[in-house]
Amino acid sequence: MKKISLSCFIAVVALCVFSGCSPKQPENDYTWLKQGIETAALQLKFTVAEIGDSIRLPRSIWTGYDTDFLCHQLDKKQLTDKDSARLKPIHDNLGSRRYCFSIYDWTSGFFPGNLWLAYQLTGDESLRESAVKFTNHLYPLREYKGTHDIGFMMNCSYGNANRLSPADSVRSALIQTADNLCGRFNPEIGCIRSWNFGKWNFPVIIDNMMNLDLLFYATRLTGDDKYKELALTHARTTMKNHFRDDYSSYHVVSYNNDGTVEKKCTHQGKSDASSWARGQAWGLYGYTSCYRESKDVQFLRQAENIASLIMRRVKTEDAVPLWDYDAPDTPQTPRDASAAAITASALIELSTLVEDGQAYMEYAGKLLKSLSSDGYLAKPGTNRGFILMHSTGSLPNGSEIDTPLNYADYYYLEALLRYMQVKEIDYKHI
């Protein structure tokens, strides 16, 4: 496939986005929504054109960091090898697109998922064709058993593929992956093991709540409740051990073989006792999904309590949180747009599951408008083709600090889609 020059692409974008041929605005002004969708579609097409025929999956942009800056963020006098993996890219890489190291990267499913969601939002067939192409790259993952993240990797890619372009091979790949995820469940502990690395005995991270959706999907595909029941058992154990009295969560809880807790700590937050922003969003999203699937009120209460925590503790004017709620409150402290996008998507769904969800919908709308503003939404042709700016991946490990992230884009697109569905907005009539 021929690459298109950046200057030509920007010229085309300017004509598409800023021409005066837009349809008449409805009574409610959804200009921000239209701009977000159109920018997303253009950025994804630009990225596909840049990648060409190579098998590469965009993840973020390479960024460096200053050691003094990290020390200040983590409230430490100095960093040790234990504190930071020091993933400093070589100077020549700074500012360039960072790709997944392979299809086994935990973020590999998000770019195909972004293409599927953009296709659903716009109906653009070229996006569907690209989604099929990049989803097919992940087919070997159906055999992989090495991490809980196979839920992210396959549900965001193959799960969307099955919704929007179903095929027997897609369905069987999802079921096989769900079986592999179930294989990581320990009945004595009552949880799915998250990682195979580290010194923990049996680590479970709050992120794992997101991978339960693959198991819920497998129950719908097969009619077999074993997937759902296993997922709900994991959720109950996590609810018991991961959360503090104020409903903030630890990042990592490791278990002994008898099910007792070995350790509660963090791997990506400011400290073991801090509230890592994305972790709180993962919990909100996961328990909202659990209530949707089970109608068990304990999961609804958990989701509502986490939502209350988030809305109470995030103090930024635009509601996009700092990377950790306990990080230094300074202009230099990085935000995490990914946490905002996940929260927005979860709150929109939560708003549909309660009697009066207006407060959740309004907060989600504020988040989406912030993310769709010039402060976070990239200008077409910039940001190496990513949609959102200003996310933070793993600050304590010196990785992906104040940079775009493919999963921030994914949950932003999902939140836009959910927003439109609740508001009954047709993209063609915006």
- pLDDT-based confidence at 28, cuts 50/70/90? confident
Q: Is residue 104 part of a domain?
A: no
207 annotated active-site: yes
From CA 378, how far away is CA 371, in angstroms rounded?
10
Q: Give the CATH number, domain containing residue 147.
A: 1.50.10.10
The answer to whether residue 417 sits within a structural domain is: yes
Per residue in 42-60, pLDDT (tens digit) is 999 999 999 999 999 999 9
Strand spans (E) along 182-242:
185-186, 191-192, 203-205
Residues 132 and 261 in one domain: yes
State the pLDDT at residue 78. Answer: 78
Q: Are residues 260 and 124 in the same domain?
A: yes
Does 276 reside within a domain? no
User: Would you say residue 370 has pLDDT above 70?
Assistant: yes
Give the pair of three-digit tokens for residue 411. 């949950």
Asked if 3 and 67 sit in the same domain, the reply is yes
Looking at residue 66, what is its pLDDT?
84
The pLDDT tens digits for 210-268 are 999 999 999 999 999 999 999 999 999 999 999 999 999 999 999 999 999 999 999 99
Residue 79 clears pLDDT 90, i.e. is over it: no
Verify whether residue 149 is a known catalytic residue. yes
Residue 400 zone, left/alpha/beta (φ > 0; ψ -120 to 50; rest): left
pLDDT of residue 268: 96
* Together in a domain, 174 and 93: no
Tell whether 139 and 209 lie within a shared domain: yes
Chosen domain end from 219, 246, 265: 265
Of 225, 245, 265, which residue constitutes the final position of a domain? 265
Specify whether 156 is located in the same domain as 246.
Answer: yes
What is the mean pLDDT of the segment spanning 192-214?
97
Q: Does the pLDDT of residue 10 top 60, yes or no?
A: no
- Structural domain boundaries, residue 182: 118-265
Looking at the domain assignment, is residue 113 inside a domain?
no
Confirm whether 14 is domain-assigned. Answer: yes
Q: What does the block give as tokens for 388?
A: 């959102």
Structure confidence at residue 19 as a pLDDT band (50, 70, 90)? very low
112 falls within a domain: no
d(CA 250, CA 311): 18
Domain count, the chain: 2
Assess whether 182 and 314 both reside in one domain. no
The stretch 317-339 carries a mean pLDDT of: 97
Q: Residue 67 above 90 pLDDT?
A: no
pLDDT tens figures, 316-327: 999 999 999 999
Exactly one of 168, 179, 207, 213 is catalytic; name it: 207
Burial class (CB in 10 A: 0-12, 13-18, 19+), 255: buried
My answer on whether 16 and 93 are in the same domain is yes
> Is 273 within a domain?
no
In a shared domain, residues 180 and 261? yes
CA–CA–CA angle 106, 116, 42 (5° rounding): 100
Assigned domain for 282 exists: no
Say yes or no: 82 and 166 in one domain: no
Instruction: Please tell me whether residues 205 and 131 are part of one structural domain.
Output: yes
As a whole number of Å, the CA-based R_g of the chain is: 21
Q: Which of 66, 68, 83, 149 is catalytic?
A: 149
Is 201:213 a contact under the CB 8 Å cutoff? no
Domain ends where: 246, 265, 284? 265
Give the pLDDT confidence of 274-300 residue by residue, as tens digits. Answer: 999 999 999 999 999 999 999 999 999
| Same domain, residue pair 44 and 157 | no
